[in-house]
Chain A
Amino acid sequence: MTGCFADAAVGRDGARARLSRAALERLCDGHFPGDPIVPGAYVAGVMADLGGMVADGRALSQVERCTFLAPVRPADGLVAIASAPERDAEDLVVGVEVLDGERCLARGRFRFA
C-alpha cells in the first residue's frame, strides 16, 4: 500500500501517520462507483505497513484480527496509530487503529515474525 502516508512519526511508544487522501482515492478505483470505500483488505494493508515501522524490520506473518467499525472513505484528517510492539514468544505483535478525529474506523492486531 505504497504512498498511503502523507507523513509518519515513529517513536518508542509506537507510530502515528496521516493518511494521504489522494492515495486512498486511488485505492477506491472501482470500489465502488459513486460510493468510494477503501477496501477493507487495503485498509488492513495500510495498518500493517504502519505496524511494520515499529516491528524492527520484521516481516508480517499474520493479521490476527482486523475489525471495521465504519467505512473508511477517502478524506482529509484520517490518521493511523500503532502501539508499541508487544513481544509474544519470538514474534512482535502491534495494535493499530485508523481514526477520523476521535472516531475509530478500524482496529487490528498484526503479528510480525
Chain B
Amino acid sequence: MTFPDPATLLRHRPPAVLVREVIDFTGTRLACASMGDGPWKWPQLLEGGAQTAGLLAGTQPDGLSNQAVIADYRAVRVHAAGHTGPVVFAAEIDRRVMHFWRCRIAATATDGRLLLEGTVTLAPPGSATAA
C-alpha cells in the first residue's frame, strides 16, 4: 500500500505535524520518520507517537477519522527526557474496544535507541474524552 503524505491525512497543521512520511506499514503496524531533527522533549515524542497511532487507526476497517481524539495514555516509559536528531515513530494495534482503539507506540532514535514507549487510546470525535 502506498501511503499518502501524512500531512494530507492528519487534522494537524504545521508546526503541530511531527511525522514526515510513512516508512513502514504492515497493516497493523505503522512507522513514520519524524518531521525534522528536534530537539525533542518527551511530550513531543509522545505526540509524534500519537499522530502515528492516529494514522494507523485511520487505515483499519471501520477505523477512526482524522477527527479522532486522545482518550488516554498508559504506561508511558520515558527512557530519554530529550533527544536531538531524527526519530522513528511506531504504532501497533493492541486492541479495539467498541469504537476505541488502543495502540502501542514507541519513539526510537535512528541508532535504534528506544526513547519512549507506551500505549495510547484513541476515541471517535464527540466521545466524553478528548485531547
Chain A residues at the B interface, C-beta cutoff of 8 Å: 1, 28-33, 37-45, 48, 59-72, 106, 108
Contacts and interface: CB of A to CB of B under 8 A. Distances in A.
Interface residues of B, number: 30
Would you call the interface of chain B mostly helix, strand, loop, or mixed?
A: mixed
Nearest to B81: A59
Given A37-B130, A68-B71, A106-B131, A30 B47 contact: no
Would you call the interface of chain A mostly helix, strand, loop, or mixed?
A: mixed
A33 B13 contact: yes
Nearest to B47: A41
Nearest to A33: B13
A44 B130 contact: no
Contacts of A31: 12-13, 16
B23 interface: no
B24 interface: no
